[in-house]
Amino acid sequence: MTLRQAALVRYASPEQVPDPYADTLGDLLERYDREVSSKKRGASAEAYRIGKLRRSLLAALPVAELTSKAVADYRAERSSEVSSSSVRSEISLIRRTLETARREWGYQLLTNVAALVALPAPGAARDRRLRAGEYEALRDALVGHPLAWAYVRFAIETAMRRGEILSLRWRDAFLSLGCVHIPKTKNGRPRTVPLTDEALYVLRGLKPQSEYVFPIDIHALRWAWTTACTRAGIEDLRLHDLRHEGVSRLLELGLSPPEVATVSGHLTLSQLMRYTHPDAQRIRAKLAGRRTGQSVE
């Protein structure tokens, strides 16, 4: 068989053309998870989102019968259940999956119907920070989970991402130099994070149990966190809010935005400011007894 004949058999054979009437959106999402998402740095988060999507009625529709109205109806239903940012992420994931199917997997789709559906407006950035007494309440509620409490303290002190902390290895922790190195980050740029005295204290108090500094499963961490918040009577506080708290504290310590970005890993000032929520009372304390230059009558 010549190369031309082999190519015609492989690429022109009807058996090689995917059937959009037989394959569902759920099938495409499963393939996208396996072939695309699994190779991303944020694979676990996207895999979780794909799992939720695949359990929906929308995912049961054959690809050929998927319409923009069906996607819009799904958007409306989910908007009543989760935040606008979550809905945006899910619709965007459907868009990427269908586009990959059109461009790379041979599906004869004239239109990416999800691309016709408007994304919900971005929600306001969360400004939830630890309130008076909540730090101590969390400490008491996590007394039986020392590793989870160490994670909470370290997350606040460093403003590092959850994935960065959980993947931190002892070989990248340079305690004598007062820093840790993150070889793989969400934005693709490795960075070295200088540590506060409290962050160093946390690390020195841990006993190496494996190659990882925080050898705790994400599900176990979430369970410990949820249980602690319930026990402490703390409402609407998420694990990710610890990063907000950390960034805000670093700025309140007097570090400049570029210095804080060196620690937190934000690439732009606009990204950094979404995580910055200064405490008005702390600012007032700094202003007490000071003037801008104009006398007060």
pLDDT by residue (tens digit) across 130-175? 999 999 999 999 999 999 999 999 999 999 989 899 999 999 999 9
Is the predicted pLDDT of residue 290 greater than 80, yes or no? no
**Would strands 179-182 and 191-194 be described as parallel, antiparallel, or unpaired?**
antiparallel
**What is the overall mean pLDDT for the chain?**
85
Point out the residues that are catalytic. 161, 186, 240, 243, 266, 275
Q: Domain extents for the chain?
A: 7-116, 134-287
* pLDDT(27) > 60: yes
Give the model confidence (pLDDT) of 42-97 as tens digits. 677 788 899 999 999 999 999 999 999 999 999 999 998 888 888 999 999 999 99
Kindly provide the b/e burial profile for residues 180-212, where b requires at least 16 CB atoms within 10 angstroms of the residue's own CB.
Answer: bebeebeeeeebebebbeebbebbeebeeeeee
The CATH number given to 134-287 is: 1.10.443.10
Q: What is the Cα 53 distance to its own chain's centre?
A: 17
**Domain 7-116 CATH (choose: 1.10.150, 1.10.287, 1.25.40, 1.20.120):** 1.10.150
Q: Which amino acid is at 57?
A: L
178-210 pLDDT, tens digit each: 999 988 877 667 888 999 999 999 999 998 989
Instruction: Check if the beta carbon of residue 213 is closer than 8 Å to that of residue 206.
Output: yes
Q: What is the pTM of this model?
A: 0.65
